[in-house]
Structure 1
């Protein structure tokens, strides 16, 4: 039992460290997922709608807490830190995650639970199964919680993990994630990711064996119609056949498609996802930067999901005089974790991204264009 309990402690600890890390480097993404859950709960439980809407409004802060807690608890498990209290917290956190994954799978309301952030996408039932397996090991830890020994490294390692997780989480919120697992990360080509992968479908056929009166599965099409009757088929590698980017679309205010133009030459996106939080922002540095880069054959483009009438009034107030284009808010949330955010493209390839708290100079932008080779 001691060996099994310690093995469970190490395995769950490593899982929590990995899962917590890939989420805490991008708490904004986990916050979007929590917001989605809370909005679903608000719709399914109207009587509690104000409560869940309040949680949705504070999803980013909750995300940072959950992500940091998960990583720190993983370290606490690995280093035997206060196992009585740690076991209770791990059990509670896993019960919360298991409920979310079950709700996601059973009701098909949130198709990606975000268990491993944007690093690894799991189907809802796969996520729930993963949590059930983890729960088995966590229950072993919980039962054995009073018998674990102590480690002299527990306190310093947990303290380091706490500072580290909060630090990279706050940095990601204020600036940008230190690791970007999204399709709009630096070095990735947007047009290439919009293409369907050249992969052969992996089919699984179901036939009825007429002689034995039973169904069989086969990866090859059985053409003997005297013996087999075709019933159905399914694609096993369907996820691999989809383009990584399927919803990227840019249009002007009249609705004309400008998607292809964003892949031509040097483009500097100024991404404005929503007006909230921008009213008090000084757009002087942004306007100045856009004017300077435009003189260096780098085309500035405002990309926004703000409704047209709102944006026109806002642009007049902030003296934004260069061209603007519309894009779906979901795409912009994936592309740009901050608001505003700046994205530099070269022939459709993402060169670099910046937040407003780290706004580049025109010289820096120009130097990147000159030095970057694809």
Structure 2
């Protein structure tokens, strides 16, 4: 028994010291695991979630201290009762988690040694056996070293643990066992090796056969049975190979930019999993760092799981100059234990990770921003789209048969097309163009000058301008204008058209309309303008080189005289025409 207690003493103490230290190296990670246990649907103890970090630090230090007292033989009764209480609780917790499949990783050894729920439960059962041996044989737990030194050793260990916990919380974990450690290439971490096992499922098909419900099990193929299909349920029997990085994505407005940023050489990611929980002092530090990084030639983006409203509020509050993209919150918590924090990438490889407290340590050598690569294939497609967009519109401007024939040759229209219903033919082209451009938006976002060059960058704008999708894509067009991907004057024109369509005052005076169109005296006007007195200043700032008066004459002839109508006056003119 004495030998058995001696072995159990060393084994249990070593395990508790290892477990406690691994978790104390990353107390934030352990607190996330506790929050998972406390959440609704697991233990339903949400009131403990705000205290998860404090509890995580306490439990980690307590594990280490109990391991130390067990080795020393200090306070053996307190030690074995503490060990027994902890292992009984954790055995119940791991069994509950495994049996009900609530938490897929207990977090016993942090990210250093992930265990499945049943592996965790098995480990706790083995530990329980050894701790029971210690409990019933505690008279054999004899002190080592001088007993008078025990309390000082325990005090020194406790102080060292507190100092270590404070250090990793104010900086980053000393040892990084996660999939996003420095040196990791994210693309490689997301790849699946050739020949890796695939996920396997069982399918349970429900059929009504002669008035009786029957279930037929297959591996995926549809059963060849006579009967009425009711439904199907699936069960995973083998999850197959899961790459180390499987939940990382960079998205914005429904577009995936992951590959784009992982192929760039000098990228700084500002990680803020939840903007409402980001520390104000850290946000101020990010402002100075990101401004410097941008001036040094780096691409800087923020990654967050927060809402667009929170993003807009924080950008304004801290005057941030970089764009935000969306990434899964759990992935961001895994990447970096800091909110906010900094990650530096070089072609998808993590070269630096820093807590906001260490923002001044980020190495920012001046780099040359590479010239954007033009997508020649997309450029050619958009150039073709741009020609189609104007094909019949140019023919509509012909005043004589000779002019019509000349334009027809230029735009590639046949004689039959040139004398046909031009508007119907152009409408058909507009519809197909819009479908194509929407596919481009989904894949690339707005195809601006960095992607397709100039003047091809205006092709998508023309298609949307001539569609009924302006209200849907105007935000994307505005964003492209802010980034100088298209001329701002085009953005201004589209915004004016949108405002006119919804019956509101335009801003830049780019839209005119004809009232009493079907009468002998149609009235041509510039649509009402908000703050019309200052419209020419806004036109200049937007990039127009004509005044509103000059623009009106360009639209309607030299005899046109500009008049600033109100919305009420336009409504009255419409009523008269009716």
TM-score range, shorter chain: 0.7 to 0.9
Report the CA distance shift for 1:361/1:113 in structure 2 as closer, same or farther (over 3 A).
closer
SS class of match (1:360): helix
Report the CA distance shift for 1:196/1:166 in structure 2 as closer, same or farther (over 3 A).
same
Match of 1:161 in 2: 157
1:94: Cα distance to partner? 1.2
Partners of 1:186 and 1:111 in 2: CA distance? 26
Q: Is 2:291 the partner of 1:291?
A: yes
RMSD of aligned Cα (Å): 2.5
Query: What CA deviation, in whole Å up to 9, does each residue of 1:47-89 have, x standing for no partner?
Result: xx5xx22211211110011111112211221222221111111
Which residues of 2 match residues 36-51 of structure 1 at below 5 A? 36-40=36-40, 43=41
Report the CA distance shift for 1:122/1:175 in structure 2 as closer, same or farther (over 3 A).
same
Query: What CA deviation, in whole Å up to 9, does each residue of 1:102-128 have, x standing for no partner?
Result: 111011011111111111111111110
Partners of 1:368 and 1:63 in 2: CA distance? 42
Match of 1:75 in 2: 68
Partners of 2:56 and 2:105 in 1: CA distance? 16
SS class of match (2:255): coil
1:148: Cα distance to partner? 2.0
Partners of 2:365 and 2:159 in 1: CA distance? 36
**8 Å Cα contact 2:83/2:131 also seen in 1:** yes
**8 Å Cα contact 1:80/1:150 also seen in 2:** yes
1:156: Cα distance to partner? 4.1
Query: What CA deviation, in whole Å up to 9, does each residue of 1:100-159 have, x standing for no partner?
Result: 111110110111111111111111111101100110000110112234212226434433
Match of 1:59 in 2: 52
SS class of match (2:115): coil
1:275: Cα distance to partner? 2.5
SS class of match (1:67): helix
1:201: Cα distance to partner? 4.3
Point out where structure 1 has 5 or more consecutive residues left out of the alignment: 204-233, 370-374
Match of 1:259 in 2: 258
Report the CA distance shift for 1:67/1:198 in structure 2 as closer, same or farther (over 3 A).
farther
Which residues of 2 match residues 74-223 of structure 1 at below 5 A? 74-151=67-144, 152=146, 154-198=150-194, 201=197
Higher deviation after alignment, 111-120 or 167-176? 167-176
Higher deviation after alignment, 261-270 or 8-17? 261-270
Partners of 2:154 and 2:261 in 1: CA distance? 46
1:368: Cα distance to partner? 12
1:265: Cα distance to partner? 0.9
SS class of match (2:256): coil
Q: TM-score, normalised by structure 1?
A: 0.82
Partners of 2:323 and 2:161 in 1: CA distance? 39
Match of 2:278 in 1: 278
SS class of match (1:276): helix
Partners of 2:42 and 2:188 in 1: CA distance? 39
Partners of 2:22 and 2:198 in 1: CA distance? 30
1:198: Cα distance to partner? 4.1
Match of 2:476 in 1: none
Match of 1:318 in 2: 318
SS class of match (1:302): strand
1:314: Cα distance to partner? 1.9
Point out where structure 2 has 5 or more consecutive residues left out of the alignment: 200-236, 369-578
Match of 2:462 in 1: none
1:361: Cα distance to partner? 5.0
Q: TM-score, normalised by structure 2?
A: 0.54
**Greater RCO between the two (CA within 8 Å, min separation 6)?**
1
Partners of 1:279 and 1:169 in 2: CA distance? 19
SS class of match (1:324): strand
SS class of match (1:345): strand
Match of 1:359 in 2: 359
**8 Å Cα contact 1:250/1:257 also seen in 2:** yes
1:299: Cα distance to partner? 1.2
